[in-house]
Structures are given as structure tokens and as C-alpha cells.
């Protein structure tokens, strides 16, 4: 990826940045302003703030960028080769959540220019923590010092890598790691499948293993040549069958961590399992917000929430054994290379399910994905206080799926005193960091599960009454290489100064002030105008100078709905763009997302069906949701599901082959396919369209949502609009 790739979604070539948005906050909270600094990020994963205020952001596919929040500049500082799910093979069951995972800035960054990256290595099957040095503003690949390499599994829809990296105020480095387990074949309960050949379905080998670094929060002290083990970790160096790097064990997917700047207490959001209700196999699934004031075991996969236990399940004969004792948990797994008798399990600070929470009703209901941090302390000497003095010592937690931030007020002993809602309607909040001026830096992942191009970095600050100026720019008509202000406005009618910048590699060139600017000869990625009012508030506008990469974005308007739409309801839509596409090429699709913590981003096959399709070379010509040599399986499902006996028709097509329905390329007959395998494949193909409906060939109209199909209610609808040559638009709305 080149440095100008992010510009390809930068609005209609002319759209103003940032957006000034008054956020929806709890009635007791002061109004906030959201200043969007940069958009168009591709699956951004974590943000780190440098001492000079610059922001460093990593993207899932390996790119690292620097953002100058004063000028809106975005600079590509390097791409690390990583293993990751690729858009060309979006249906793959391999490396589902691998990629660039975490970043931290060295506490002595101003002197040593060092950053730490945690990523899925492309050269070995492991996740790696490395230190890199910046040279001339870019990552120097030769400077890499590999600190940790954690072997992982990547096959068969294995997920959960954690990946958050952060320094504590004591200079120790914390790294979160997930249990690296396939959670989909244990019905949402504890994945402790001890059978031979089920390695990746057994979290006893990872999170519950004292001799394995997965499913943990690790704590080390970096040194010039590597790292040391600090005092106070869970196991002393030299303890048999343990790893001394472990600070916290028993984690499922500790996705975002934060360390209290004053007390050094560790907080993290724990993404929990999917069981909708309780059964003999264990409690319903919970997400957690955890607090560790000292090293400990937080129980997964043997307990969850406030130490609700799971029984030891024998998957071979589907029988249940001894119930776990949280005070003395035992790991009986055959793949456990660590201690059998584990430290006592620690309960979560906050826990909640898909349904309304009895203990914490403010959390609401629906899909969930818990995150945690930072802790707010009131400081009257700094420019901003995102909360009032009464909220001193408040942990901010957030939920990726619900798009909300919560306030968890802590007492003097760091116990939970009060839990309230704070901010709503965010687009998959991915990371939240407190800047030294008291504002919050917010990283939003984007609207989809994978392959976003609308991730963003914003600043949240108290609304002081001074709104940001807005500005749009355009090419100057009839003048080569010249750009002009289209519109500029200050809501308070104050004086605006327009300053122009060019992005040039990892630097920027100031072109001066005024209503126009001329781009000189050279290689530049972007021209940018910054509107500054007389009180210092800024607004940004940008135009990519690499027009070969510019895709005009579609806009999707769903109008105002009466309540939350349910199965079978009609939903209005309107698709637009700066240059309207031909209606004939428009596809609007509505997809139901059940209220679980997992969304593959679209239709998918089960692991067994994927293996069956792969074994019969089905993926050589077809992908699940992307057309290749032949149509996607999802398009086949949508086309034929309403016909009389579609299964019989597709069986016949498999046996006889044919051409002409989807194009000129013929489909060969699948003579060698066994009848029982054909039955499974056809049923799986037809099932892909469950919960999905679409409208084609119209820019405006209604789409009928799919009928009920057995999924739990209370999830979300994802509405998307696509057209060849345009950047797609997606929105998610709560479902009835």
C-alpha cells in the first residue's frame, strides 16, 4: 500500500474534514464535540500518542501511519509483512483474525524513536512482538528486534489474538494475547474439546495453560537487547511448567487494555462466548470488564463473569464431569503442558450478556464486544477535562458492537461505585486514549467486520461553545495544478485563516495562506486546506492527487424509521454520489446480524462444509460472496431460493454442468461428487441467503427485509449499497 491509498476514499474529492459532531451523551454528562481528523483508514486496529502529540495508527493489513492532528496530515511510515485475511479470499477459514494487532510508543521515544509492534508474522506461524526504530520518519526494517514469538494456530476458523500493547507508568510493557481457539463448535460454552485432532478447539491448551503465552496479559521490562521479567508477575522465574512473562492468565480475548496512570492497575475488556442461555453445559455467554491490581488468574475457559463455573465436558461421549471450583480450578486437558492446579479465579469487575443485564442494566442489550480504558482523573490545570470533578477516578469502558462508551466510577479503593452511559452512536470504537491536554483520541474501525475503508481518528473534547469551522475545496476551473476554497464557514462568524499543505512522503510542505494554492512540480500524495478560526479551532479539507486511486463514495440514506425494523419489514433507501451511478449497476443488500459476538462480515460456510468444498475443488471457480470464474455462492442462493424445489435444480446443475445462465464460461459436471456430499453442499449454498435480501437496479426505493429464519431476535441489520467503480456504503441499525 502506498501513502496515498487512504486518500482514495477521501470523500467526493472535495468533502470537508473534520466533521463537527455534537455527540449523543447521557443527560447528566456535559455536551461533547467530536473533531474528525482523518478518515479513509483501512481496518485501523490501535492508536498510540507520541510525546509531541502526533498519533501513530496501525492497520490490520500491516500499514503504519502517522497523523499530525494540527494539520490533518497523514503519512505512511511503513508496512510490515503480516499474515492476514485477504479480500480476494474473504471466505477463507485461515488467519481469520491475524494481522497487525498492536502498537506502543517507547516512553523515551523523543530520544530513541522506538515503537513496539505486535503482529502475525508472515514468515512463521506465530504472533510476534518486535521493537523498531524510526529513521528519517519511517520504520527501519533492519532495526527490528524480535522480543517475543508466540506460536499459534491459523487453520479452521481459529480466532482470538488480543493484541493490545501498552506501557504502564512504571515503564513496563503489557501485551494482551487471545486464546487462539475456534469458538464455534462448542455451542457458545467453554471450548475444552479434549479429543484427538481437535487442538484448535481446546482453550485448555492456551488460556488455561500456565506454560503457554496465549490467553494472557503479559508484562515485561524491555532492555537494550531484549527484555527482563519484572517482580510481581504471576509466576516467579524458574517455576516449573510456567512462563514468567505471564501477569494475567485465563483470558478469552482481551482485546483492548489500559493501565491506570496513577495506580498502575490493569484494565481490559474481555470478549466473551456466545451461549444465549444457561444449560447443563454452563452459564450463558458474558463479556467482561476486568481489573487486575496485581497478578492473577481470571478463569477462562473454566469460569466466566463473576466466577460462574463450567463443568468439565467430555466431548467424546457428550457427558459432563466435575464442576469447576473457582477457588481451586483444575486443568485436566491432555494438551495442558503447565500446572494442573491453577491459581484461584478472579471475578470480573463488570459482566453482561446479550440480554438486559440484571447487575448492570445500563449496559443495555444486543451484540457485544467489551473494551476498557483509560481511567479519567480530573485536573484543573489542563486545557480539557472530558468529565467533571465529580467523575474523578472514572474508568471509561466501551463496546465495539454497541458503539457506546460507559463511565465506571471507582471509589478510593478502586471498587466500582457507579456505572452510567456516556457516549452513543459510534462506528465500532476500536481504541480510546487520553491525550495530555485532557481530550480523548478515538479510533473508529469502520462500519464493516473486515475490509473497511472508512475507519477514522477523531478527538473528543468538551463543547466550549466554539464550533469548528468548515471548509471544502475544489480544483480551480481552467487553471492547471491550482486549487481553491469552495466554501468556508465559521459558525460564530469569526475570522478564518486558510493554510494550505502538501503531503510529500512522510513530510508536508506549507504552501502558505489564502483562498487558492498552486501545486508545484513534484511527487505529492494530497493537497489539504486547514481553516483556523480566531480561537484556534480547525477544520480540514483534502483532495487526493493520485486520481488513479480515487473511488467516488456512495452515500446511503435510510430515512427515518418508526422503531426498530424486524424480519419482513419494508425499509426505505436512497443511494447517491457526487456523480450519480447508473441505477442499473446498483445493488442494495440488507443482511441480518444475529446478536452474537462474532460476525464474519457476510455469509459463510461451516468449517466442515468449507473442507468439503475445498476437497472437491469448488473454490477453484466459486467464492462464497465474491464472483470469480463463476458466480458467488451467495448470488446463486439469492437467485434460486424462491424457485420451486431449488435443491433439486441445483443438484441437477451439479451433475450436468452447463453455461449461459451466469456467463459464457461453462461449469463442468461434478461427476465424482458423492450424493451425500452434494446434498450437504446444496443445503449449505441455499442456507447462505438466510437473513439476506437485496434490491437491484434502483437508486431509491424500498427493500423488504428477509423473513425470520430461526436466528435470535435483537441483533442488527447491515444495509449496504454497492456499484462497480464506487466505494460502497454501509450502515448498521438495531433490529427488533
Average pLDDT over residues 538-553: 81
| Domain annotation covers residue 46 | no
CATH assignment of the domain containing 511: 2.60.40
Confidence category of residue 629, pLDDT binned at 50, 70, 90: low
Residues with Cβ within 8 Å of 289's Cβ and at least 6 positions away in sequence, in order, are: 267, 268, 269, 270, 348, 349, 350, 351, 370, 372, 395, 397, 408
The pLDDT of residue 8: 27
The pLDDT of residue 632: 83
Confidence category of residue 600, pLDDT binned at 50, 70, 90: low
Do 514 and 559 sit in the same domain of this protein? no
Confidence category of residue 662, pLDDT binned at 50, 70, 90: confident
Average pLDDT over residues 717-732: 89
Residues with Cβ within 8 Å of 615's Cβ and at least 6 positions away in sequence, in order, are: none
Domain boundary residue among 361, 385, 406? 361
Taking Cα atoms as reference points, which of 395, 399, 398, 421 lies closest to residue 408?
A: 395
The distance of Cα 401 from the centroid of its chain, to the nearest Å, equals 9
The pLDDT of residue 617: 65
CA distances to 232, 233, 277 from 237, in Å = 11, 9, 41
Per-residue pLDDT tens digits for 320-359: 999 999 999 999 999 999 999 999 999 999 999 999 999 9
Taking Cα atoms as reference points, which of 634, 593, 254 lies closest to residue 448?
A: 593
Confidence category of residue 587, pLDDT binned at 50, 70, 90: very high
| Domain annotation covers residue 373 | no
Domain that holds residue 673: 552-734
Domain boundary residue among 329, 361, 393? 361
Per-residue pLDDT tens digits for 12-68: 333 333 334 445 455 445 689 999 999 999 999 999 999 999 999 999 999 999 999
Continuous segment of H or E residues that includes residue 572:
strand 570-576
Do 637 and 709 sit in the same domain of this protein? yes
Reading the block at residue 457, the C-alpha cell is 481518528
The pLDDT of residue 524: 93
**How many domains are there within the chain?**
3
The distance of Cα 562 from the centroid of its chain, to the nearest Å, equals 30
SS (HEC) of 318-377? CEEEEECCCCCCECCCCCCCCCCECCCECCCCEEECCCCCCCCHHHCCCCCCEEEEEEEC
The pLDDT of residue 20: 40
The more confidently predicted of residues 547 and 560 is: 560
CA atoms of 266 and 414, how far apart (whole Å)? 11
Do 535 and 616 sit in the same domain of this protein? no
Length of the chain (residues): 736
Do the Cβ atoms of 715 and 595 come closer than 8 Å?
yes
Given a cut of 50, whether residue 7 has pLDDT beyond it is no
The dihedral over CA atoms of 694, 699, 700, 704, expressed in degrees to the nearest 10, equals 0
Q: Is 460 exposed, middle or buried (0-12, 13-18, 19+ CB in 10 A)?
A: buried
The pLDDT of residue 668: 63
| Domain annotation covers residue 179 | yes
Given a cut of 90, whether residue 282 has pLDDT beyond it is yes
Confidence category of residue 551, pLDDT binned at 50, 70, 90: confident
The dihedral over CA atoms of 303, 309, 313, 319, expressed in degrees to the nearest 10, equals -170
CA distances to 18, 229, 392, 462 from 381, in Å = 27, 36, 14, 15
Do 190 and 222 sit in the same domain of this protein? yes
Do 590 and 667 sit in the same domain of this protein? yes
Indicate the SS3 state at residue 5: helix
| Domain annotation covers residue 728 | yes
Per-residue pLDDT tens digits for 423-436: 998 999 999 999 99
CA atoms of 97 and 85, how far apart (whole Å)? 7
Do 282 and 267 sit in the same domain of this protein? yes
The pLDDT of residue 164: 98
CA atoms of 129 and 138, how far apart (whole Å)? 19
Peptide bond preceding 392 in cis form (omega within 30 of 0): no
Q: Is 358 exposed, middle or buried (0-12, 13-18, 19+ CB in 10 A)?
A: exposed
Q: Is 520 exposed, middle or buried (0-12, 13-18, 19+ CB in 10 A)?
A: exposed
Do the Cβ atoms of 299 and 250 come closer than 8 Å?
yes
Average pLDDT over residues 541-566: 82
The pLDDT of residue 658: 65
Reading the block at residue 299, the C-alpha cell is 478463569
The pLDDT of residue 669: 65
| Domain annotation covers residue 164 | yes
DSSP notation for 72-129: TEEEEEEE--B----GGGTT-SSSTT-SEEEEEE-TTHHHH-EEEEEEEBSSSSEEEE
The DSSP code for 391 is: G
Do 668 and 534 sit in the same domain of this protein? no
Per-residue pLDDT tens digits for 371-388: 999 999 999 999 999 999
CA atoms of 190 and 263, how far apart (whole Å)? 33
The more confidently predicted of residues 80 and 625 is: 80
Taking Cα atoms as reference points, which of 251, 228, 96, 236 lies closest to residue 176?
A: 251
The distance of Cα 504 from the centroid of its chain, to the nearest Å, equals 29
Given a cut of 50, whether residue 171 has pLDDT beyond it is yes
Q: Could you give the percent of the chain with pLDDT greater than 70?
A: 92
Q: pTM of the prediction?
A: 0.82
Taking Cα atoms as reference points, which of 300, 233, 310, 309 lies closest to residue 271?
A: 300
Given a cut of 60, whether residue 9 has pLDDT beyond it is no
| Lowest model confidence (mean pLDDT) among 169-178, 476-485, 657-666 | 657-666
The pLDDT of residue 207: 98
Average pLDDT over residues 597-614: 77
Given a cut of 80, whether residue 219 has pLDDT beyond it is yes
Work out the mean pLDDT of the chain and round it to a whole number: 90
Domain boundary residue among 496, 522, 549? 549
Do 164 and 215 sit in the same domain of this protein? yes
DSSP notation for 222-257: E-SSSEEPPTTSSS-TT-TT--TTEEEE--S-EEEE
| Domain annotation covers residue 6 | no
Indicate the SS3 state at residue 397: strand
Per-residue pLDDT tens digits for 228-267: 999 999 999 999 999 999 999 999 999 999 999 999 999 9
Give me the phi and psi of 125, to 5 degrees please.
-90, 85
Do 596 and 507 sit in the same domain of this protein? no
Per-residue pLDDT tens digits for 476-520: 988 999 999 999 999 999 999 999 999 999 999 999 999 999 999
Do 566 and 711 sit in the same domain of this protein? yes
CA atoms of 526 and 644, how far apart (whole Å)? 55
Do 198 and 338 sit in the same domain of this protein? yes
Give the ranges where 569-693 is alpha helix by DSSP (H). Answer: 607-615, 633-640, 646-656, 675-687
The more confidently predicted of residues 632 and 357 is: 357
| Domain annotation covers residue 241 | yes
CATH assignment of the domain containing 705: 1.10.760.10
Do the Cβ atoms of 268 and 254 come closer than 8 Å?
yes
Do the Cβ atoms of 149 and 121 come closer than 8 Å?
yes
Do 703 and 586 sit in the same domain of this protein? yes
CA atoms of 17 and 501, how far apart (whole Å)? 14
Residue whose grid cell is 463496546: 399
Do the Cβ atoms of 43 and 445 come closer than 8 Å?
yes
CA distances to 59, 67, 105, 117 from 79, in Å = 9, 15, 17, 11
| Domain annotation covers residue 105 | no
Per-residue pLDDT tens digits for 59-102: 999 999 999 999 999 999 999 999 999 988 888 889 999 999 99
Do the Cβ atoms of 59 and 70 come closer than 8 Å?
no
CA distances to 274, 413, 509 from 178, in Å = 16, 29, 42
Amino acid at each position: 500500500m502506498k501513502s496515498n491509498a487512504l486518500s482514495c476514499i477521501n470523500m467526493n474529492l472535495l468533502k470537508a474534514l473534520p466533521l463537527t459532531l455534537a455527540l449523543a451523551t447521557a443527560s447528566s454528562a456535559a455536551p461533547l464535540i467530536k473533531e474528525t481528523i482523518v478518515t479513509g483508514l483501512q481496518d485501523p486496529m490501535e492508536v498510540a500518542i507520541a510525546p509531541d502529540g502526533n498519533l501513530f495508527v496501525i492497520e490490520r493489513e500491516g500499514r503504519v501511519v502517522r497523523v499530525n492532528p494540527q494539520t490533518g496530515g497523514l503519512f505512511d511510515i511503513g508496512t510490515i509483512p503480516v499474515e492476514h485475511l485477504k479480500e480476494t479470499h474473504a471466505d477463507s477459514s485461515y488467519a481469520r483474525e491475524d494481522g497487525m494487532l498492536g502498537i506502543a510508543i517507547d516512553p523515551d521515544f523523543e530520544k530513541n524513536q522506538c515503537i513496539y509492534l505486535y503482529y502475525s508474522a508472515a514468515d512463521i506461524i506465530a504472533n510476534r512482538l518486535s521493537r523498531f526504530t524510526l529513521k528519517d520518519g519511517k520504520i527501519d526494517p533492519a532495526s527490528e528486534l524480535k522480543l517475543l514469538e508466540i506460536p499459534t494456530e491459523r487453520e479452521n476458523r481459529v480466532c482470538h489474538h488480543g493484541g493490545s500493547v501498552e506501557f504502564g507508568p512504571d515503564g513496563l510493557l503489557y501485551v494482551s494475547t487471545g486464546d487462539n481457539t475456534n469458538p464455534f463448535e462448542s455451542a457458545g460454552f467453554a471450548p475444552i474439546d479434549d479429543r484427538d485432532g481437535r487442538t484448535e478447539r481446546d482453550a485448555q491448551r492456551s488460556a488455561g495453560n500456565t506454560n503457554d503465552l496465549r490467553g494472557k496479559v503479559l508484562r515485561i521490562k524491555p532492555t537494550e537487547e531484549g527484555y527482563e521479567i519484572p517482580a510481581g508477575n504471576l509466576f516467579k522465574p524458574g517455576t516449573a511448567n510456567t512462563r514468567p512473562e505471564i501477569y494475567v492468565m485465563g483470558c478469552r480475548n482481551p482485546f483492548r487494555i489500559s493501565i491506570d496512570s496513577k495506580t498502575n492497575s490493569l484494565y481490559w475488556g474481555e470478549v466473551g462466548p456466545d451461549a444465549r442461555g444457561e444449560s447443563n453445559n454452563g452459564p450463558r455467554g458474558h463479556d467482561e470488564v476486568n481489573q487486575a491490581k496485581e497478578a492473577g488468574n481470571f478463569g477462562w475457559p473454566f469460569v466466566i463473569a463473576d466466577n460462574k463455573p463450567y463443568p468439565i465436558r467430555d466431548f467424546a461421549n457428550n457427558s459432563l464431569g466435575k464442576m469447576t471450583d473457582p477457588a481451586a480450578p483444575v486443568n485436566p486437558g491432555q494438551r495442558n503442558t503447565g500446572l494442573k492446579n491453577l491459581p484461584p479465579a478472579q471475578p470480573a469487575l463488570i459482566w453482561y450478556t446479550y440480554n438486559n443485564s440484571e447487575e448492570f442494566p445500563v449496559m443495555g442489550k444486543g451484540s457485544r464486544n467489551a473494551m476498557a480504558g483509560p481511567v479519567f482523573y480530573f485536573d484543573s490545570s489542563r486545557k480539557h477535562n472530558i468529565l467533571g470533578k465529580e467523575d474523578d477516578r472514572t474508568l471509561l469502558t466501551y463496546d465495539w458492537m454497541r458503539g457506546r462508551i460507559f463511565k465506571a466510577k471507582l471509589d478510593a479503593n478502586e471498587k466500582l461505585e457507579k456505572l452510567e452511559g456516556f457516549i452513543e452512536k459510534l462506528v465500532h470504537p476500536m481504541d480510546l486514549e487520553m491525550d495530555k491536554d485532557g481530550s480523548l483520541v478515538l479510533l473508529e474501525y469502520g462500519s464493516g467486520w473486515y475490509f473497511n475503508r472508512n475507519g477514522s481518528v477523531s478527538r473528543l473534547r468538551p463543547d466550549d461553545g466554539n464550533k469548528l469551522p468548515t471548509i471544502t475545496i475544489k480544483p480551480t476551473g481552467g487553471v492547471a495544478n491550482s486549487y481553491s476554497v469552495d466554501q468556508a464557514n465559521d459558525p460564530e462568524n469569526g475570522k478564518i485563516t486558510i493554510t494550505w499543505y502538501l503531503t510529500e512522503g512522510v513530510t508536508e510542505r506549507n504552501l502558505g495562506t489564502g483562498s487558492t494554492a498552486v501545486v508545484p512540480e513534484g511527487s505529492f500524495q494530497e493537497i489539504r486546506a486547514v481553516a483556523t478560526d480566531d480561537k484556534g479551532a480547525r477544520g480540514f479539507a483534502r483532495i487526493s492527487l493520485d486520481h488513479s486511486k480515487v473511488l467516488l463514495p456512495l452515500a446511503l440514506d435510510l430515512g427515518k424509521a418508526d422503531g426498530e425494523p424486524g424480519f419482513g419489514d419494508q425499509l426505505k433507501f436512497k443511494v447517491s454520489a457526487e456523480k450519480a451511478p447508473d441505477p442499473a449497476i446498483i445493488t442494495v443488500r440488507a443482511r441480518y446480524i444475529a446478536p452474537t459476538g462474532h460476525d464474519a462480515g457476510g455469509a459463510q460456510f461451516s468449517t466442515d462444509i468449507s473442507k468439503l468444498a475445498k476437497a472437491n475443488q469448488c473454490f477453484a471457480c466459486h467464492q462464497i460472496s465474491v464472483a470469480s470464474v463463476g458466480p458467488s455462492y451467495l448470488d446463486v442462493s439469492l437467485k434460486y431460493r424462491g424457485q420451486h424445489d431449488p435443491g433439486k435444480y441445483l443438484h441437477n446443475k451439479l451433475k450436468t454442468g452447463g453455461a449461459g445462465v451466469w456467463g459464457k464460461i461453462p461449469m463442468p459436471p461434478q461427476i465424482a461428487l458423492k450424493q451425500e456430499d452434494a446434498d450437504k453442499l446444496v443445503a449449505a449454498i441455499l442456507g447462505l441467503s438466510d437473513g439476506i435480501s437485496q434490491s437491484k437496479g434502483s437508486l431509491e426505493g424500498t427493500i423488504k427485509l428477509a423473513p425470520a429464519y430461526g436466528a435470535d431476535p435483537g441483533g442488527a441489520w447491515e444495509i449496504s449499497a454497492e456499484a462497480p467503480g464506487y466505494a460502497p456504503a454501509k450502515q448498521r441499525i438495531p433490529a427488533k
